[in-house]
Structure 1
Amino acid sequence: MGEIRNFRSGNQDEPPPHGGVGPRRLAAIIVGDIASYSRLMQADEEGTHVRVKRIERDLIQPSIVEHHGALVKTTGDGFIAIFDSPVEAVRCSIVIQQNLIGRNASLPKDSRIEYRIGVNLGDVIIEPDDVYGDGVNIASRIEGIAEPGQVYISGAIYEQIKHKVVCGYESLGDRKVKNITDPVRVYRVLPDADAIGRTRGRRENVLIFLLSITVLMIATGVLWYLLVQPGRVGEQAAAPTASPVASPSPQPSSREAAVQTPQPSPSLASSPAPAPSQSPPPLREPEMIAIRGGTFAMGSNDDPTERPVHQVTVKPFSIGKYPVTVQEWNECAAAKACGFTAIGKDNAPITDVSWTDAQQYVAWLARTAKKPYRLPSEAEWEYAARGGTQTKYWWGDKLQPGMAGCKDCGEFAAEQPAKVGSFKPNPFGLHDMGGGVDQWVEDCWRRTYQGAPNDGSAWTGGDCSSHVLRSGSWKNDSRYVRPSNRDGYDTNVRYPTHGFRVALSP
């Protein structure tokens, strides 16, 4: 199968230096390869070819570009890409794998296209349409030992990203790989930061499950005895004793007297009493704050994505006083309207949700409460976050401790976000509009505000493979908690720091 050559470096008309050898550079290299490719081609050659090309076109190439990488080449069953940033290389790998999970969900297991991905940091030789060196070879060897659907990284990558990418890592130890002299330290990437504990505790979870089943069976037996046996005793007490001659009965003992007290008829005694009807608990709607609306200067000159600064007029609306909590999310999950049940404290913000997950929640909430709940637009979110101010932060131009939950905000550093409302509200009475959790909004992601609407509405249409996130999280530093800060992330991919809050039209 032919290769797609997409990599370019420097002036392609100039000959490479050093006697025909291309320049060297330090790069993060991704090598991806399709598991069981030969079997898939044998089963359906044309269909597999079309599906692979579609994945390359619609997922792999856009993801690489979105994460500031360069596609070196694609082969029949894989691809190679390089990145200046190890963080972006790993994020790109996670996005590709999680999107493939969604694509494969409805397919039979033996028809799924699954990639193994290896990532390494190394010094490589750059050619106009290829890349060479031990850095590439190690990435290829790591990919070869990866499980389908998994991302494995080298120790060199791990050292660069361990405090920068919010995910779990499982050390697989030093591995001897083909044609590489020294062993390579290998880690498995777990996008869910809690997954490492679940992986290690799988056997214990099975034992706990079996023990729970045993206890449940014993409890069921005891309950059956308590419900059925009194009815049988009542039947025996009500049965007359056959005696041809009446004789005085001895005084019954206290225990016999208790048995001989009037009993309900056998038919009623043997039937359990009907359980009282249980109505579902009332819907717990998020607490909302009414915003009067007005005109403000949206954006800043602190970052290219926040330019140009432009005037926006926002209409009146309401927005959640806090981000949506675990308890509120789990009501949607209990109604089978949201995709998973969250684990954590009830008053903690929901995390690890995609934009699509957030839309499921607001659709359920609007339907159940019969109110027009939705995600806020990006303009509404910033207007609400500023609280009527135009300073760097809503409280002023300098960082102050105790005002937001972020990595360097002075009084807060933890492995999970604080409960909602742990920090002071802004002038509009809103909590956690900066820090805590990243918050999805309605708008599609665009790199600048050029052409953005000025009426406060969401900027949709066009390429919506990514959506906008606001607020920054407890894992980010203080520059992310600015009201003007913005970022984009893949629409269908969950990430451990991502949450949301709801809005309500008048």
Structure 2
Amino acid sequence: MVTFEDYGVDKLESNRTYVLTLVGNSQQQAQQSQTLTIRYSPSIATVLVDNKMINGSNGVAQTTLPVGQHSYIVFCNGYESEEGMVKLKASAPSNLQITLTKEATATRNTVAQPTVAQQPVVQAPVTNGDNISIPVKDGISIDMVRVEAGTFVMGATPEMESPYDWEKPTHQVTLTNDYYIGKYEVTQNLWKAVMGKNPSKFKGDNLPVEQVSWNDCQKFISKLNNITGKTFRLPTEAEWEYAARGGKKSRGYQYSGSNNLSDVAWYVGNSWSKTHAVGSKQANELGIYDMSGNVWEWCQDWYGKYSSSSHTNPTGANSGSDRVFRGGGWDISARFCRSSYRYFITPDDHCNFLGLRLVLSE
């Protein structure tokens, strides 16, 4: 996949041919690498880029990296850390200015002691047919849709256009247990209610939360379970794809709920380079929203190659270095929003196109 912006082409012009020339050895490295300079305060702070420490001096750290997206973290004792993503382009070096904010004294030194009165009151869920609404706190609830157990063919089935090798081979999967999956992607409002802060780039209570790592999601789920008394988790990759395809009600669409992507998804062709309120496009056959587009969604599984053999309740590879995410997002073209498309990233990565959806075992 080629991102034209990385090569200094901000807008494609009609009736014009673009030629990408692949070269080798030192010339390739020179064309595809760029310098990142981070100026930071206080000057004693530590700088990590792609989870590797960058040695700095007098508040300036500099490194050379391949063009494309990279994560950074700047932290120092007594200060609020700052983290995010930076995109390096081949056309020019990139510079960041990071000024850390001091932590509040009360926050740093005081540990709240829970009392009986502070313990959460677990409220009963509200059921409506195949839908269930689970109260969390402050009037915020999680709406979930029941997915009936069944068997399906997972991977690059014939309706999936231009599939990649990592979507193959197709294989039969049987899910033996019903489960509930989030009707919507986790919103910033819900994340703030549980975690007390909002890490997202695009701010809005009803927008999907993003810039949350897989590890962040596990912390969020642990706190959510303590509040609700439930056992929420991330979906397995198989559970995610089965629900995206519409489960037993599937009509064989390429995207989740339609063969016309604009009907069901916010993607690069209509998103205006930002996320949108959850549930503002059409739902799929099960009444689930945004399983194509808006933000990509973490799954529970370690990434591993598919095999052609049949599987029952698969949970992905036994181990690995990357976790799977699914669904496409506001930042990407239609090809990556298909229900079979899968990709992967390290579990501590934070991206402004990556969020989550919850599952609850029945």
TM-score (normalised: structure 1): 0.48
Instruction: Quote the residue 1:114 is aligned against.
Output: 54
Structure 2 residue 311 is matched with structure 1 residue 454? yes
Instruction: Quote the residue 1:97 is aligned against.
Output: 49
Contact 1:153 1:187 in 2 (8 A): no
Instruction: Quote the residue 1:147 is aligned against.
Output: 60
- Matched residue SS, 1:401: helix
- Matched residue SS, 1:285: strand
- Matched residue SS, 2:28: strand
Instruction: Quote the residue 1:487 is aligned against.
Output: 343
Contact 1:353 1:495 in 2 (8 A): yes
Aligned ranges for residues 97-496 of structure 1 at < 5 Å? 97-100=49-52, 113-115=53-55, 147-148=60-61, 151=63, 157=67, 167-168=85-86, 185-188=92-95, 281-282=137-138, 284-300=140-156, 302-314=163-175, 315-334=177-196, 340-342=197-199, 344-387=203-246, 388-396=250-258, 398-408=259-269, 412-446=270-304, 448-450=305-307, 454-463=311-320, 465-496=321-352
Compared CA separation, residues 425 and 327, structure 1 to 2 (3 A): same
How far the C-alpha of 1:23 sits from its partner, in A, is 6.7
- Matched residue SS, 1:352: coil
- Matched residue SS, 1:367: helix
Contact 1:146 1:152 in 2 (8 A): no
How far the C-alpha of 1:416 sits from its partner, in A, is 1.8
How far the C-alpha of 1:98 sits from its partner, in A, is 3.9
- Matched residue SS, 2:223: helix
How far the C-alpha of 1:460 sits from its partner, in A, is 4.3
How far the C-alpha of 1:487 sits from its partner, in A, is 0.2
Compared CA separation, residues 358 and 451, structure 1 to 2 (3 A): farther
- Matched residue SS, 1:469: strand
How far the C-alpha of 1:451 sits from its partner, in A, is 7.2
Aligned ranges for residues 2-151 of structure 1 at < 5 Å? 25-27=27-29, 28-29=32-33, 97-100=49-52, 113-115=53-55, 147-148=60-61, 151=63
Contact 1:399 1:478 in 2 (8 A): no
Distance in 2, matches of 1:504 and 1:323, equals 14
Distance in 2, matches of 1:431 and 1:23, equals 46
Contact 1:308 1:449 in 2 (8 A): yes
How far the C-alpha of 1:444 sits from its partner, in A, is 0.2
Q: Name segments (4+ residues, structure 1) moved above 6 Å.
A: 277-280
Contact 1:405 1:473 in 2 (8 A): yes
Distance in 1, matches of 2:171 and 2:147, equals 20
Contact 1:378 1:442 in 2 (8 A): yes
Distance in 2, matches of 1:170 and 1:488, equals 20
* Aligned partner letter, 2:141: E
Mark the structure with the bigger radius of gyration. 1
* CA deviation string 1:96-124 (max 9, x = no partner): 72423xxxxxxxxxxxx5347xxxxxxxx
* CA deviation string 1:96-154 (max 9, x = no partner): 72423xxxxxxxxxxxx5347xxxxxxxxxxxxxxxxxxxxxxxxxxx99933x55679
- Matched residue SS, 1:415: coil
Give 5+ residue unaligned stretches, structure 1.
1-21, 33-93, 101-112, 117-143, 172-183, 191-195, 210-276, 335-339
Distance in 2, matches of 1:378 and 1:279, equals 34
Compared CA separation, residues 187 and 457, structure 1 to 2 (3 A): same
Compared CA separation, residues 115 and 486, structure 1 to 2 (3 A): farther
How far the C-alpha of 1:475 sits from its partner, in A, is 0.4
- Matched residue SS, 1:487: strand
Instruction: Quote the residue 1:504 is aligned against.
Output: 360
Instruction: Kindly tell me the number of residue pairs found equivalent between the two proteins.
Output: 273
Compared CA separation, residues 444 and 345, structure 1 to 2 (3 A): same
How far the C-alpha of 1:30 sits from its partner, in A, is 7.2
How far the C-alpha of 1:391 sits from its partner, in A, is 3.2
Compared CA separation, residues 418 and 452, structure 1 to 2 (3 A): farther
With a CA cutoff of 8 Å and minimum separation of 6, indicate the structure with the bigger relative contact order. 2
Distance in 1, matches of 2:35 and 2:149, equals 50
Contact 1:453 1:459 in 2 (8 A): no
Compared CA separation, residues 462 and 185, structure 1 to 2 (3 A): closer
Normalized per residue, the structure richer in helix is: 1
Distance in 1, matches of 2:296 and 2:346, equals 13
TM-score (normalised: structure 2): 0.65
